[in-house]
Amino acid sequence: MTDTTRIALVGLGATGLAIGRALASRRDCTLVGAADISPERVGRDLGELLGGMPSGTAVVADPDELPLADVAMVATTSMLDAVEPVLSALVRRGVNVVSICEELGHPFLSHPEISGRLDKLAVEHGVSVLGTGCNPGMIMDTLPLLLSSLTQRVRRVRIRRTADMSRYGAILTKFGLGLTEERFAAEQGAGRVIGHVGFEQSVAALAAGLGLDLDEIVVDAPRPALLAAEPRSGEHIRIEPGTVAAVLHGARGLSGGEAVIELAIHFGVFQPGDPMEDGDTCVIEGDEQTIEVRVPGGYESFLSTVAVASNAVVAAVGAAPGLRTMADLPVAALASKGAWRR
């Protein structure tokens, strides 16, 4: 690994562009190329697209056209079966891969066959594949695993979050924000409103790290939690009065009929005075003591995703070959280095 990590970007939606801007500002990273399927972005100068000076690097349509890099940052889809071909193609070129695909965060239970293929391929080519982000990746799995070291035996983990979605783009359709309740129900019935992708992976990652044997992982259906009384807007969405401004989505890991892991998130475009929980809470009930961490106002979901991905993309280059999880990486490797360009 050199002093500067050469990074290629795959996917330049709202989150991919934000990650690109973060990486472009770091003196330990060099962006060598980018790929995106949008005709509006293909052929454009990457530096200008990121809001900076021209870089002389044009966005390409096919990841196979990217120059060789130490690692590729893939920000395209939440679904692992859809992104597997891109991941595999990059691995075959000897490129480490980090992706914010939620189903890649801990895919061994949910996608055992794909996990096996990716792991085998990555080992053969001597590179790592890592799924990460704010969630899954950190807040509902890696962070509570680290906190659990303060007690010797964990009985139960409960995590509650309020995720501000106002900066997100294409993924908003999964949550049904801005729909009437009737349209929400119809879209949910058609399989288009599915809520958060990644609960199963976070529960599985927590259980694996804590050594808990689960009988079942139950992911609830998202449901409307708040209707807008007046118009409100995010960067890529406008929510009219009477439509869904926030949903509640959660999951549980069951052992012996008891929920030993409970996760729940309010996702929405919020305004002051909304009756949501004010902050994010992680409670780890242990034999010796209960560990409770509360973050007033909550973690900023979009900025946290960008930060975790940006720090992990450098850490992945030094990871052992194969399909890795955040729990495989040293804490110091994931820590913010503050390596900004002067």
| Reduced 3-state DSSP string for the chain | CCCCEEEEEECCCHHHHHHHHHHHCECCEEEEEEECCCCCCCCCEHHHHCCCCCCCCECECCHHHCCCCCEEEECCCCCHHHHHHHHHHHHHCCCEEEECCHHHCCCCCCCHHHHHHHHHHHHHHCCEEEECCCCCCCCCCHHHHHHHHHCCCEEEEEEEEEEECCCCCHHHHHHCCCCCHHHHHHHHHCCCCCCCCCHHHHHHHHHHHHCCCCCEEEECCCEEEEECCCCEECCCCEECCCCEEEEEEEEEEEECCEEEEEEEEEEECCCCCCCCCCCEEEEEEECCCEEEEEECCCCCHHHHHHHHHHHHHHHHHHCCCEEECHHHCCHHHHCCCCCECC
Cis peptide before 112 (omega within 30 of 0): no
Res 342: pLDDT: 47
C-beta neighbour count of 59 within 10 angstroms: 22
Burial of 163 from C-beta contacts in 10 A (0-12 / 13-18 / 19+): buried
Span 189-212, average pLDDT: 96
As given in the structure block, the two tokens for residue 272 are 């002051």
Q: For residues 148 and 209, what is the distance between their CA atoms, to the nearest angstrom?
A: 10
Res. 171 pLDDT band, cuts 50 70 90: confident
Q: For residues 61 and 310, what is the distance between their CA atoms, to the nearest angstrom?
A: 23
Cα-based angle 262, 265, 134 (whole degrees, multiple of 5): 95
Span 172-201, average pLDDT: 96
Cα dist. 261→43, 108, 147, 188, 293 in Å? 47, 18, 15, 25, 16
Q: Has residue 2 got a pLDDT over 70?
A: no
Res 1: pLDDT: 42
Span 125-134, average pLDDT: 97
Span 111-127, average pLDDT: 98
Q: What is the pLDDT of residues 37-47, one digit of tens each?
A: 999 999 999 99
Tell me, what amino acid is at 10?
Answer: V
Res. 292 pLDDT band, cuts 50 70 90: very high
Res. 22 pLDDT band, cuts 50 70 90: very high
Q: What is the pLDDT of residues 241-278, one digit of tens each?
A: 999 999 999 999 999 999 999 999 999 999 988 988 77
Cβ–Cβ under 8 Å, residues 193 and 174? yes
Of 6-15, 141-150, 169-178, the range with the lowest mean pLDDT is: 169-178
Res. 337 pLDDT band, cuts 50 70 90: confident
Tell me, what amino acid is at 214?
Answer: L
Span 181-187, average pLDDT: 97
Res 340: pLDDT: 55
Q: Has residue 87 got a pLDDT over 70?
A: yes
Bridge pairing between strands 71-74 and 29-35 = unpaired
Cα dist. 96→124, 145, 204, 321 in Å? 12, 25, 24, 9
Q: For residues 229 and 122, what is the distance between their CA atoms, to the nearest angstrom?
A: 51
Cα-based angle 180, 303, 184 (whole degrees, multiple of 5): 10
Res 138: pLDDT: 96
29: β partners: 5
Res 170: pLDDT: 80
Residue with more model confidence, 228 or 171: 228
Res 338: pLDDT: 63
| % of residues, the chain, pLDDT over 90 | 90
Span 85-90, average pLDDT: 98
Res 180: pLDDT: 97
Span 193-222, average pLDDT: 96
| % of residues, the chain, pLDDT over 70 | 98
Cβ–Cβ under 8 Å, residues 194 and 129? no
Q: For residues 103 and 89, what is the distance between their CA atoms, to the nearest angstrom?
A: 18
Res 341: pLDDT: 52
Instruction: Say what the pTM is.
Output: 0.91
Q: Which residues contact 66 (CB under 8 A, 6 or more apart)?
A: 8, 10, 32, 33, 34, 35, 60, 72
Q: What is the pLDDT of residues 305-320, one digit of tens each?
A: 999 999 999 999 999 9
Mean pLDDT of all residues belonging to the chain: 94
